[in-house]
Amino acid sequence: MTPSTKAGASRGGGAGVLRVRRSGPLRGTCRMPGDKSISHRALLFAALADGPVEIEGLGSGEDNVSTARALRALGISVVMDAGEARARVEGGQGFDALQAAAGPIDCGNSGTTIRLLAGLLAGRPFETVLEGDASLTRRPMTRLADPLRRMGASLDGRVDPARPLDLFPPLRLAGGDLRGLRAALPVASAQIKSAVCLAGLQARGRTMITEPGLSRDHTERMLRFLGAPIAAEPDRGLVTIDPDGWSGRLRAAPVRVPGDLSSAAFILVAALVVPGSDVTVEGVGLNPTRAGVLDALRAMGGTLDVTVTGDVAGEPVGRLRARAGGQPLRGVRIDGTLALRAIDEIPALAVAAAAAEGPTTFADLGELRIKESDRIAALCRELGRAGAAVNELPSGMVVMGRQAASAALRGGSVTPDHDHRIAMAGAVMGLIAEAGEETLLPAADIATSFPAFAETLRSLGATID
């Protein structure tokens, strides 16, 4: 059975409360919504093409809707069909298609939207205000502002007296006559790297970007697929943009977005921790720069089969099958490059750790403090509420794992701080909670990335109302 990815299609996909109860075996085949990160890029890059672009498999979560809404405010025609997961973007003039917005642009809850838009608009000859919801306005933007300012853009924002060295949205950006830059990013960040890439395409001279680790490379892959003058040397952590002689317009080619691995992570973990489960997820993106969650789950002893079936727009795609084995998962250490490659999937892995035997140590995850919520604090709070033993660390945590084969988590109310991944982690914990207990969580928070989450789990046999 393949659930629809239409926003609101699930009985729990909109407003209200989801009620999750202990589940019997999860079994069947499903598909994920379009990859959220790739969907953002597909929309933004299509606006820079030399003609109309058809996008299939597009994510219909609220973050991707924020990007489409922002492009419309900049004069780009974007027609989305959420029910069919499609969009048509009418660019035609490259960067010149972008026009000054009539007012501030609302980026909603999406950090990817605000950061990539800043790079997109850094070379445009007008001023733009980028704002967002209460969560987004708490996310620091200093690491974004520094390289864009050095390239020639003017970027200012809100200053919090409690954190005077940081810059926060709303951001006021005035595009400038950009010049190429050698940018050494202090922290590996796909969003900052992508913003500098987009600015570099508008600059005079070469831009070279290095980062201390290899962050996800969706931007580099899709820009190359669409004909941009960009080269990557992953072994050196180097990306080079050399726009001299380039037309300034990307190629108008159809784009297909693979299924979202970050969403699939919660389904995979559920299948690994609910006894007797056997679940297959089709058409998932398997980009190696973000497949750390698969390596981590296999290191924990998870029965996980990965089959690459093809390549779309430069991205490998395939099939994932997860089965609950006869033995429980085991605790491991997740840090360094593995942690970077699994940064968005840590909430799912934290649930796996709570169901494992022995401690799991999560380290080198300071970036989680400034996501949609402070994910380290939120995970420690929610795991503790459910009865898991967990120790919070400055840039990670230690989840002690279950103490006995029969141990189960408690039900109760999840407070995800409007963070979709914390909400989904709470739902998966509910599937292995004590019999007779309910786990309650706000459904609306999940719609940010996976509107059909509850419907998908129900199709596999979970009890969710």
Q: How far apart are CA 158 and CA 240, in angstroms?
A: 31
DSSP-based three-state secondary structure for 431:
helix
Q: In 3D, which of 147, 120, 145, 117 has the Cα closest to residue 131?
A: 117
Rg, Å, the chain Cα set: 21
CB 324 within 8 A of CB 272: yes
Q: How far apart are CA 84 and CA 4, in angstroms?
A: 9
Give the C-alpha distances (Å, rounded to integers) separating 339 from 290, 295, 325: 10, 10, 25
**What angle in degrees, to the nearest 10, is found between the helix axes of 261-273 and 420-431?**
20
Active site residue 344: yes
Q: In 3D, which of 243, 248, 246 has the Cα closest to residue 205?
A: 243
Q: In 3D, which of 284, 288, 277, 235 has the Cα closest to residue 262?
A: 284
**What angle in degrees, to the nearest 10, is found between the helix axes of 36-46 and 218-225?**
40
Q: How far apart are CA 324 and CA 425, in angstroms?
A: 18
CB 203 within 8 A of CB 96: no
- 63, 217, 344, 445: the catalytic one is 344
CB 429 within 8 A of CB 441: no
Structure tokens at 29: 């085949």
Q: Is the dihedral of CA 91, 96, 101, 102 positive or negative?
A: negative
Pairing mode of beta strands 52-56, 86-90: antiparallel
CA atoms within 13 A on the CB side of 347: 30
**Cα 216–Cα 246–Cα 253 angle in degrees, nearest 5:** 60
Q: Active-site positions?
A: 344
